[in-house]
Structure 1
Amino acid sequence: MKRLLLLMLFLCTGEVLYAQSTGTITGLVQDEVGNPLPYASVILEGTSYGAATGEAGDYQFTAPAGNYTLVVSEVGFASFQKRISIKTGQVNQLPVVVLKEAQEVLGEFTVRGQRSEYKVDKASGSLRLNTPLIEAPQNIQVITAQSLEDQQIMDMADGVLRNVSGATRLEHWGNLYARVNMRGSRVAAFRNGMNVTSNWGPLTEDMSFVENIEFVKGPAGFMMSNGNPSGIYNVVTKKPTGQTKGSVNLTLGSFDLYRGALDLDGRLSKDGKLLYRLNVMGQSQNSFQNYTFQNRYSIAPVLSYQLDDKTKLTLEYAYQHVKMSNVGSAYVFSTEGYGIYDQSFTIAEPGLDPTKIDDHSIMANLQHDINDHWKVTGQLAYFNYSQEGSSMWLNGIEGTNLQRYASIWDALNESAYGQVYLNGEVKTGGINHRVLAGLDMGTKEYLADWSQSHQLDTEEIPFDLENPSYGYPANGLPKFDRSMSLKQRANTSVILQSYSGFYAQDELGFFDNSLRLTLAGRYTYVSQNSYGTTVEDSKITPRIGLSYTVDNQTAVYALYDQAFVPQSGVLKNGNPAKPITGNNMELGLKRDFFDGKWSTGLSIYRIFKDNELVSDPENPTAPYSLQMQTRTQGIEFDARGELAPGLVLTANYAYTDSEITEDERAGEFSQVGQPVAGFAKHLANGWLSYSLQNGSLKGFGISAGFTFQGDRTTWNWPGDGQMALPDYFKLDGGLSWENNNLIIRANVFNVLNKYLYSGSAYATYYYYQAEAPRNARLSVGFKF
């Protein structure tokens, strides 16, 4: 840690002289009717300094002091030029640039902005913060679509987490959904600002329709009505850009991977008011384990319409279909330890019917600019997830003899959300106010039928782990009864939740906004019924943040934030269980380098969680619970972006220490001082790529990346004499070549062909899931 802190201090000190000789340029680009022009190119003529405008038409970049010609261009518009002067240490706010539509039809060509495609300066509008990320008093990391494409990441459960510090998935769940753990507990899953988290969901989003993924570390009162204090991730889907363009991508890979994706983007009206985006994907893939597979396809159309010069309506629909093998078939069981059998070993039964999933979502977003300083946004969404299939586990194990059973797992997950929030900026005297206020409402219903099960093997004829036999289980295959509707069969296996919350925040800026004080609070009311037990609760959670801009590329911050999670249960004294409360205290340093194209962040945090429920070990069947408190603390470092033209580095490290600090389980049963299950104490990731910018090999690139997890804990504490999980190391790499239209990419994963797995010791046995041995993907993409 000392070396890391010294390195950060050295880097920051080394950049001071550079920062003293530069200035910052900011402004807006619009068309003649006042619509923002996203992705317009803004560049200083004859230099590499510049940026591409964001969704709101805004831009910001840093350049050496001096006199320049500013050139602004966009496809279909006449370019704009203006002489400007950049002054040392100053922020130069330029007047709004208005581009006129070109009178001549131009030939098709590709414009690539000078902005980094791996680092963004502002979060999406769905994160609600009208603040540059470097000024936000919180650790927020954004993974861009270009990073996902370079690493050939296909869905939310496929390598995304290597791009952010401290995030893990210790169980794979058949890639059904991405349960992400961070800072000692599960983080909430959001899509376009909607909290879509459920006990077994949401379905992993396919990356074909994903623009960015935003990770917010710690409580996020401006987003969450209720949830763990560890944080959230927000999947931002692709929207129309106003440019007429498209791409097609074909991928082949190991284990019979065949995948195709199409992305179309353009205008449906000549005036540019009606825009569309369409993403379509189809994929089939077997596994390194026999009899396991996952086939998917998705369709995601989006329409946006500029109702007038201040109001825009966006409608989007996403449909994902999955057909996959039994969810539990990836598990391996053993009484000897982890990794006992070959990676290809499976307990899957080929005769079991596949699991089928249909996932629908509909969203409507209305944005209205009240004036130049105030904006109101309203969102409505409906999600419907239906599943018909089965899962698999064991009824007993003795030596190498396993008794498997399959149980029905049909499920329905319905949810609806509504949000209205206001962003504004105003000055009172010498104080600048960035105001955020919002109302959130949501309802969630999860129904499941787990009531039917079928024993596949018998004590007389078990499944022999040493000499497995497939296709003819001793007790035959199950025939589940689905004659009644799922709602009739679910009976008491129902989870209902409704919530409403109001949030208000004022970020007060002092001394020309270099010092910012955030004062905020959220009131949340939650009513939920979990398996027949109803609980209602409400709470006010405060948020206080302080951020200071040292120079235009450096900021430090401090944060205190709270979260709470209602829970069902009765305490030993007969009182209802209190909600889980979480308090987060955090200090951080943020630093941009190389004209803002490479960002670094260092944060130190401590989270306390109170009132978590546990069973009484002296009376485990008792109808009451005991409580405990946990403390999670750690250090996180993130770096991402371009070090130089063509040289891209994403690197992160997290040290996480999570343990039980108070426990009502007394005496020999007390777990005080024991680690909390489900995280890795040391987690490091890196991804480095370089592509040649000139010469006969221009466009050729090479990349390599690694993931390391040290001192891993499992979902359950190992018993006396049982093994913990070993350390984890994975190495990946790839080659690529591209020009303006064509890109060819080949990546190899698990280059060292290591036997990788995650799992847990449980009762008298171990269970684990292996990861794929060395494998490869080859993709060919064309942009038009």
Structure 2
Amino acid sequence: MSHRLPPVFRRSSLATAVLLATLPTLSVAEDVIVLDAVEVSGQRGEPSSESTGSYTVGSTSTATKLDLTARETPQAVSVATRQQMDDFGQDDINDVLDSTTGVTVERAETDRTYYTSRGFDITNFQYDGVGLPMVYGNVLGKIDTAFFDRVEVLRGANGLMTGIGNPSATVNFIRKRPTVDTQASVAATVGSHEYGRLVSDVSGSMSDSGNVRGRLVVGGEGSESYLDRYETTRQMLYGVIEADLTDTTLLTLGHFTQTSDADSPMWGSLPLFYSDGTPTNYTRSTSTSADWAYWNSRYHNTFVELGQQLGGGWQAKLNVTRLEIDSDSKLFYQYGTPDKDTGLGLAAYPSEYDLTKEQWIADLYASGPFSLAGRTHELVVGSNWSYSELDDVSRYGQGIGTPLPPLEQWTGNYPEPSFDARVDGSDWTDKYISSYAAARWSLTDRLSAITGLRMTWLDSHGTNYGDSKDTSYDAVDTPYAGLIYDLNDQHSVYASYTEIFTPQTEEDLSGDRLDPIEGQNYELGLKSEYLDRRLQTTVAVFHTDQKNVATQAGLLANGDAYYEAEDGLSSDGIEMEVVGAIGERIQLTAGYSYVDIEDEANNAARTFVPEHLVRAKGTYDVPAVNGLKVGALVRWQSDISAMVGDVEVKQDSYALVDLMANYRFSDNWTTTLNVYNVTDEKYLSSLYWGGSQSYYGAPVSADLTVKWTY
């Protein structure tokens, strides 16, 4: 069923104001005076973070595609640089986001992960600023960080660049790029639980003139686990070539592949309470998996970029990306509530799954300066197209419901059944077209404004486990507005309003589809720079909400449910962050966030999200020992809880402390020791699934990396 959105959904007043503020520049730009190209390139363009060794970056473009400094961006942004990832052994994206201000990593099971920020699930991910819509709100396996120079996290709604999603955050993976000068590195790591990792990275010119450059990253790792029977392997390959076709034209071709294999993964996790309501307390190594279970996934990401300098400081860029994700698995789930005295009460649920997802994304935009009313401003205009196709088959095994022994006696020895009891699955396509424009207005020497608008057309067809996915939306508008005022050379205050939307397929009593969920983010903040801009701070207060959330209202005569739209959830909070260098020996990133999440009746909601989070990491170059650097990473969260019927499941507040020491033997050789969870804290990894199941986080462990660089 295709329909145009009714007038009640259109944010006409604000959208019209933003449109009038942004789009007229298109007609003005033909006759205006523009900045000299050399001047603009001197002010803009962000070097790779690996080349600086810093915990900060000069600019980001996740919010608007304009290269803006932290003070010029009217939203809270955190960046994990290459140096941060290397210092603390953050080899996958879960580790990176787990130390990012205002983000929680929900490890609901071993090989499927969810992320939240400001109370809502993070479903928006980008590669080099190009959005990749997520079919499901989770990540299979663990995305390796060997490919990336840095990871940018923009908190709040990001409708201008993504359109669809939640008002939570956008995670932007910035890939490594080739270098003109030859450089190479090999890093070997060994650690607890038979952990081993080897990564090589080679980059440099492929022609005498340097107009063709290439980079190759190859790596692999394998590990056993503190969890019974669980083992993983991962292989990574990334290649990228840049070619200067002319003095003003740059062509980039790249591809990365990651293969992740897991033996005896957990599908679901441990029951958290007995039938009498008292909490369980299994050993940390306890796993519900069978010895024949596995979960393998493969990521393939291919991209082509063509960049063209247009003169007058303007540039255009075309990006075409293909993403393919394949997953096959045989999994074993245990469900039920055990008896406290006997441990009995759990039952078997074996299943086999195959999933294939293919996405094509094309993004074309132009950006540059223009003059109006005697002042210089900046503009970006673009269009985005994507096509996603998903095929998901579930084959349920024989023997579902078979009683199982107590988990204390479980060894994983369960006969592998035939998977022919029942077949179900999903098969759908998403087509997405959008156009966007954003302008940065220099209103005075101290006051600037950013206005933008995105128009989105979405068409989906297919089924999801028997439910229709057919829906269509035309010209959905998502505005963006921000003001930044420089108090002086060090401090700026800002205010911003952003939106996003999520399509719904639920129908009301009349059989009409509900309007999309609307997400909005209001934010006020203060950003500051100290110590010659080497130290940056942010203080932000925000209000975020979702409206038009589908809620079941009753049943039709045929037994099907019908729904009505409710206001949904809102969150209010504060975020504070300091990042950068203090003197010549200290680098740090430290953040605190508070969030209060309520439903439409002003009751506490999503209580599995901690109200308070602290994320802090830093290093210190020891003056007494030349070449020695030591550091620590601290993650603390307040208590979380969930209600399962009349049983409350709770995880008390806890802190995790990691330590590191790095010693540089020479210009070419370094070694790094990382120790994780040094206090051996025992904690539940998540209550994301409503509190009925979870498992315990890793105990104390360590790894040692030896790295050679050239």
Q: TM-score range by the shorter chain?
A: 0.7 to 0.9
My pick for the range that moved more, 397-406 or 560-569, is: 397-406
Cross-structure match for 2:243 = 305
Cross-structure match for 2:592 = 653
**Residue 646 (structure 2) pairs with residue 741 (structure 1):** no
Supply the AA of the counterpart residue of 1:312: L
Q: 1:508 to 1:211 in 2, by over 3 A?
A: same
3-state SS of the aligned residue for 2:409? coil
- Based on CA coordinates, which of the two structures has the bigger radius of gyration? 1
Q: How far apart are residue 528 of structure 1 and its match?
A: 1.9
Cross-structure match for 1:508 = 441
3-state SS of the aligned residue for 2:266? helix
Equivalent of residue 526 in structure 1, options 446, 454, 458: 458
* Ranges in structure 2 where 5+ consecutive residues have no aligned partner: 1-34
Cross-structure match for 1:244 = 182
Supply the AA of the counterpart residue of 2:110: G
Equivalent of residue 627 in structure 2, options 694, 699, 702: 699
Q: How far apart are residue 327 of structure 1 and its match?
A: 4.1
Contact 2:63-2:158 at 8 Å conserved across structures? no
Supply the AA of the counterpart residue of 1:674: A
Cross-structure match for 1:180 = 115
Supply the AA of the counterpart residue of 2:120: S
My pick for the range that moved more, 653-662 or 202-211, is: 202-211
Equivalent of residue 578 in structure 2, options 593, 614, 639: 639
Instruction: Write the distance in 1 (CA, Å) between the matches of 2:131 and 2:513.
Output: 26
Cross-structure match for 2:207 = 269
Q: Could you give the per-residue CA deviations for residues 735-774 of structure 1, whole angstroms, max 9, x where no partner exists?
A: 11114221111111111111121344979x8311211111
Contact 1:192-1:234 at 8 Å conserved across structures? yes
Q: 1:612 to 1:170 in 2, by over 3 A?
A: same
Q: How far apart are residue 351 of structure 1 and its match?
A: 2.6
Cross-structure match for 2:68 = 131
* Ranges in structure 1 where 5+ consecutive residues have no aligned partner: 1-26, 38-52, 60-111, 483-488, 663-671
Q: 1:267 to 1:382 in 2, by over 3 A?
A: same
Instruction: Write the distance in 1 (CA, Å) between the matches of 2:88 and 2:252.
Output: 30
Supply the AA of the counterpart residue of 2:245: L
Instruction: Write the distance in 1 (CA, Å) between the matches of 2:529 and 2:391.
Output: 47
Supply the AA of the counterpart residue of 2:295: T
TM-score normalised over the length of structure 2: 0.87
Cross-structure match for 1:467 = 409
Cross-structure match for 1:87 = none
Cross-structure match for 1:603 = 540
Instruction: Write the distance in 1 (CA, Å) between the matches of 2:615 and 2:708.
Output: 30
Contact 1:163-1:685 at 8 Å conserved across structures? yes
Greater RCO, CA 8 A, separation 6+: 2
TM-score normalised over the length of structure 1: 0.79
**Residue 682 (structure 2) pairs with residue 755 (structure 1):** yes
Supply the AA of the counterpart residue of 1:522: R
My pick for the range that moved more, 370-379 or 217-226, is: 217-226
Q: 1:456 to 1:749 in 2, by over 3 A?
A: farther
Instruction: Write the distance in 2 (CA, Å) between the matches of 1:685 and 1:576.
Output: 42
Supply the AA of the counterpart residue of 1:384: E
Supply the AA of the counterpart residue of 2:577: D
Contact 1:722-1:761 at 8 Å conserved across structures? no
Contact 1:185-1:678 at 8 Å conserved across structures? no
Q: Could you give the per-residue CA deviations for residues 489-526 of structure 1, whole angstroms, max 9, x where no partner exists?
A: 986512421111111111110223x2101121111111
Q: 1:722 to 1:761 in 2, by over 3 A?
A: farther
Q: Could you give the per-residue CA deviations for residues 666-725 of structure 1, whole angstroms, max 9, x where no partner exists?
A: xxxxxx523135421111111121013x55x211111112111113255xx433232233
> After the TM superposition, which residues 318-333 of structure 1 pair with which residues of structure 2 at under 5 Å, given as runs?
318-329=256-267, 331-333=269-271
**Residue 619 (structure 2) pairs with residue 689 (structure 1):** yes
Instruction: Write the distance in 1 (CA, Å) between the matches of 2:64 and 2:225.
Output: 36
3-state SS of the aligned residue for 1:758? coil
Contact 2:392-2:427 at 8 Å conserved across structures? yes
Contact 1:330-1:348 at 8 Å conserved across structures? no
Q: How far apart are residue 237 of structure 1 and its match?
A: 1.1
Equivalent of residue 720 in structure 1, options 641, 646, 650: 646
Cross-structure match for 1:381 = 321
Q: How far apart are residue 387 of structure 1 and its match?
A: 1.1
Instruction: Write the distance in 1 (CA, Å) between the matches of 2:611 and 2:121.
Output: 15
Q: Give the RMSD, CA atoms, in angstroms.
A: 2.9
Q: Could you give the per-residue CA deviations for residues 639-688 of structure 1, whole angstroms, max 9, x where no partner exists?
A: 111112121111000001111125xxxxxxxxx52313542111111112
Instruction: Write the distance in 2 (CA, Å) between the matches of 1:772 and 1:29.
Output: 52
Instruction: Write the distance in 2 (CA, Å) between the matches of 1:707 and 1:562.
Output: 30
Instruction: Write the distance in 1 (CA, Å) between the matches of 2:494 and 2:437.
Output: 20
Supply the AA of the counterpart residue of 2:460: Q
Cross-structure match for 1:441 = 385
Q: How far apart are residue 255 of structure 1 and its match?
A: 0.9
Cross-structure match for 2:15 = none
Contact 1:718-1:760 at 8 Å conserved across structures? no
**Residue 101 (structure 2) pairs with residue 165 (structure 1):** yes
Equivalent of residue 556 in structure 1, options 490, 493, 496: 493
Instruction: Write the distance in 2 (CA, Å) between the matches of 1:423 and 1:162.
Output: 34
My pick for the range that moved more, 423-432 or 147-156, is: 423-432
Instruction: Write the distance in 1 (CA, Å) between the matches of 2:40 and 2:302.
Output: 25
Contact 2:257-2:298 at 8 Å conserved across structures? yes
Q: How far apart are residue 633 of structure 1 and its match?
A: 1.1
3-state SS of the aligned residue for 1:389? strand
Cross-structure match for 2:289 = 348
Supply the AA of the counterpart residue of 2:273: T
3-state SS of the aligned residue for 2:561? coil
Q: 1:305 to 1:628 in 2, by over 3 A?
A: same
> After the TM superposition, which residues 7-86 of structure 1 pair with which residues of structure 2 at under 5 Å, given as runs?
none
Cross-structure match for 1:544 = 481
Contact 2:524-2:541 at 8 Å conserved across structures? yes
Equivalent of residue 222 in structure 1, options 125, 144, 160: 160
Q: 1:616 to 1:292 in 2, by over 3 A?
A: farther
Contact 2:58-2:70 at 8 Å conserved across structures? yes
Q: How far apart are residue 175 of structure 1 and its match?
A: 3.9
Contact 1:36-1:57 at 8 Å conserved across structures? no
**Residue 297 (structure 2) pairs with residue 362 (structure 1):** no
Q: How far apart are residue 581 of structure 1 and its match?
A: 0.5
Q: How far apart are residue 468 of structure 1 and its match?
A: 2.2
Instruction: Write the distance in 1 (CA, Å) between the matches of 2:126 and 2:142.
Output: 11
3-state SS of the aligned residue for 2:522? strand
Supply the AA of the counterpart residue of 1:123: T
Q: How far apart are residue 637 of structure 1 and its match?
A: 0.7
Q: 1:174 to 1:182 in 2, by over 3 A?
A: same
Instruction: Write the distance in 2 (CA, Å) between the matches of 1:467 and 1:492.
Output: 34
Number of matched pairs: 658
Instruction: Write the distance in 2 (CA, Å) between the matches of 1:406 and 1:194.
Output: 38
Contact 1:251-1:259 at 8 Å conserved across structures? yes
3-state SS of the aligned residue for 1:171? strand
Q: How far apart are residue 124 of structure 1 and its match?
A: 5.4
Supply the AA of the counterpart residue of 2:505: S
My pick for the range that moved more, 141-150 or 610-619, is: 610-619
Supply the AA of the counterpart residue of 1:383: L
Cross-structure match for 1:63 = none
Supply the AA of the counterpart residue of 1:505: A
Equivalent of residue 778 in structure 1, options 693, 699, 704: 704
Q: 1:617 to 1:391 in 2, by over 3 A?
A: farther
Instruction: Write the distance in 2 (CA, Å) between the matches of 1:691 and 1:604.
Output: 34
Instruction: Write the distance in 2 (CA, Å) between the matches of 1:58 and 1:708.
Output: 30
Cross-structure match for 2:5 = none
